[in-house]
Amino acid sequence: MRRIARTALAAAILTVSWGPAVALGTSGTAAAVSEPKNLPFTQILRRCDFSEYQYVHGAYYGRPSGTLRVEDGQLVTDIQIATGTPNSRYDVKVIQVPRSSAVTCNAGDPGVAVAPLTTDVAGAGATTVRGPMASDATGVWVSITRPSPFSHMPEEFYTTDAVFGI
């Protein structure tokens, strides 16, 4: 009988102390966070308007993956890479569309969020990219590149398979 009374008392204390915190957390979070979308990647080099470069092929074996969500009016993208080039720096860009083919998609450009991703000795790495949503944006895609020391074209590249609606 004492065990039941103690359990009931502990449950009542937890309900009273955690109840308001749980209620506030769920109501505020549900409205501000969207359902995460999985991002599949492929080795296609793309221009800023999502069109493909012709006659450029990938030669590396990295396995990037990621998720995309909207939090409080910001795009949040979590990117991981496995079996990438060890001890290397990749540039991760989250690019919002529609975008003209004449407009660049460099760091600091409107509708572009950029973050570095550095791999460890095994070629694994992760990063989170955050950026404000453009008012006219209807979709988003992600580009992961490893710059080449000898060329303007990236040495290694991965892009999402599609433009994802936001």
- Domain ranges for the chain, please list them: 37-165
Quick one: pLDDT band at residue 166, thresholds 50, 70, 90?
confident
pLDDT mean over 98-112: 93
For residue 23, the model assigns a pLDDT of 42
Is the per-residue pLDDT at 31 higher than 70? Answer: no
Q: Going by DSSP bridges, is the β-strand pair 63-71/74-82 parallel, antiparallel, or unpaired?
A: antiparallel
Q: Shortest CA distance to 83 belongs to which of 58, 64, 56?
A: 64
Distance CA 163, CA 161 (A): 7
Distances (CA, A) of 42 to 12, 66, 67, 72, 78: 53, 12, 15, 29, 17
CATH architecture entry for 37-165: Sandwich (2.60)
| pLDDT of res. 39 | 97
pLDDT value of position 156? 96
For range 48-67, the mean pLDDT: 92
Looking at every residue in the chain, the average pLDDT score rounds to 86
Contact 156, 58 (CB under 8 A): yes
At residue 50 the predicted structure's pLDDT band, cuts being 50, 70 and 90, is very high
